[in-house]
Each structure stands twice: as structure tokens, then as C-alpha cells.
Amino acid sequence: QIQLVQSGPELKKPGESVKISCKASGYTFTNYGIFWVKQAPGQGLQYMGWINTETVKPTYADDFKGRFVFFLETSASTAYLQINNLKNEDMATYLCAKGKRYGDYPFDYWGQGVMVTVSS
Amino acid sequence: DIVMTQSPSSLAVSTGETVTINCKSSQSLLYSGNQKNYLAWYQQKPGQSPELLIYWASTRQSGVPDRFIGSGSGTDFTLTISSVQAEDLAIYYCQQYYDSYTFGAGTKLDLK
């Protein structure tokens, strides 16, 4: 069955970096995009961007240009989100999701989310 | 950017009731090339990740009970849950995928 399994919770200080993984299984990794979504505590869902797993091209939503990096380890069917120079407002749960198809389609499978705590 | 506005932000229901959640987009989500509305609905239960319920405004994702009904076109959309069950208590989000992706703020469904 299709699964996206994310790495564990992270506790970081402001200014540090964090790398979150999203390991896919149960389907051909390069056939579907991986999307990233931020959910601040008690808040809704915010689209961060996506990475084309075939071309390895990342696309970032406007609010996530600069400190956020999407990349892949295709041989391991794993996508990564790295956040550099962490700020207090980055404290949130970060979710990965699989696109239903390439092109304009919604997200049909989701990871369990990674809680990132930023505290000095 | 397309803005998605959901209403109400929360509602309390009794099991067995029918509920309606509204979602309005700041521009049309209907693509003339294929006559499809690029609108999805997700359900997020407490402590869980979102799950896709509906896409193309009215197509149920595989395995979704038929009490979940999506309707609407253009800029106005509705998610109707008939005969609400206790397991339906969750936050419901609409999402447009016409131009990038945007989520609504969510509608929290509680028990009376």
C-alpha cells in the first residue's frame, strides 16, 4: 500500500537548520510529485511548494522562497525539506503529500507530519 | 493569488443530521478546456493528517462514504455530509488547484 513516512520531531534553536525526510513506498516514486504543507499550531494548512520527482525541479510558494529547500534522494524514494536559519515562526508541523497525478491535481496521500519546535 | 473563503468556521451538529460547508474562491475554478472545477475537499481528524475526500468539486476519492457530497461550480462550492456520524468530527478544508494551490481556513465540525 502507498505510504509516506516522515522523520521524527525536531527541537532546534533559532538560527539553526533542520532537515525533514519523507520516505515514499508502494508506488513508483518518480511518477508523482511530492508536495510540502505547513501547519502552525492550531492553525490551518499552508501550501509551501512541491518538487517534481522526475526532473528534480523544486517550485516554492512565495512565502517559502529563500530559506526553504526541497531535494530528493531518488534511489531511496525519499524527499527532503530543509529549513535554514530557523525563526520562531517556523515552529509548526510540516507535512509531505503525494500528488494524485502530475499536473493540476490534489494530494491523495499524506505523511504523518513532523513537528518542529524552535526555542532558545 | 486565489483566496479561498470557507464558512462557517465551526458548527456543532448531532449525529444523524445533515450539514453543509461552504467554500468560495476569489476567481473561477472552472477551466473551460475540460469543464472541470479545480476544487478539492479534505478531512483532518484530531491528531491526524488530512485525507482527500472530494476532487473535481464532486468526485469522491476511492473509499470515501457516499454521505460526503461535493457540489458547486465556478466560485461557489459546497460539501454536504448527510447523516453525520461521530467519526466525521474533524476539520474540513477546501483547496483550489487551478492556479498553484490554496487552502481555505477550515471548518471545524463538533458534536452538540
Condensed to tens digits (0 to 9), the pLDDT of residues B54-84 reads 999 999 999 999 999 999 999 999 999 999 9
Q: What is the pLDDT of residue A103?
A: 82
What would the mean pLDDT of B82-96 be, rounded to a whole number? 97
Q: Does position B3 have pLDDT exceeding 90, yes or no?
A: yes
Using CB atoms, pick whichever of B55, B100, B105 lies closest to residue A106.
B55
Q: Measuring CA to CA, which residue among A45, A46, A53 is closest to residue A98? A: A53
pLDDT category of residue A104 using cuts at 50, 70 and 90: confident
Contacts of B3-8 with C-beta under 8 Å, sequence gap 24+, read: B3/B102, B4/B94, B4/B95, B4/B96, B4/B102, B4/B103, B4/B104, B4/B105, B5/B104, B5/B105, B6/B92, B6/B93, B6/B94, B6/B104, B6/B105, B6/B106, B6/B107, B7/B107, B8/B107
Q: What is the pLDDT of residue B49?
A: 98
B107 touches chain A (CB under 8 A): no
Cis peptide before B8 (omega within 30 of 0): yes
Nearest-Cα residue of chain A relative to residue B103: A45
For residue B106, the chain A residues in CB contact (below 8 A) are 44-45
pLDDT category of residue A102 using cuts at 50, 70 and 90: confident
Contact A85, A69 (CB under 8 A): no
Condensed to tens digits (0 to 9), the pLDDT of residues A29-45 reads 999 999 999 999 999 99
Q: What is the pLDDT of residue A109?
A: 98
Contact B57, B39 (CB under 8 A): yes
For residue B49, the chain A residues in CB contact (below 8 A) are 95, 110-113
B106 touches chain A (CB under 8 A): yes
Q: Which residues pair with B20 in a beta bridge?
A: B80
How far is Cα A20 from Cα A7, in angstroms, rounded to an integer? 6
Q: What is the pLDDT of residue A32?
A: 96
Q: What is the pLDDT of residue A97?
A: 98
Q: What is the pLDDT of residue B6?
A: 98
Contact A89, A80 (CB under 8 A): no
Condensed to tens digits (0 to 9), the pLDDT of residues B24-53 reads 999 999 999 999 999 999 999 999 999 999
How far is Cα A117 from Cα A80, in angstroms, rounded to an integer? 18
Grid coordinates belonging to B110: 463538533
Q: What is the pLDDT of residue B112?
A: 87
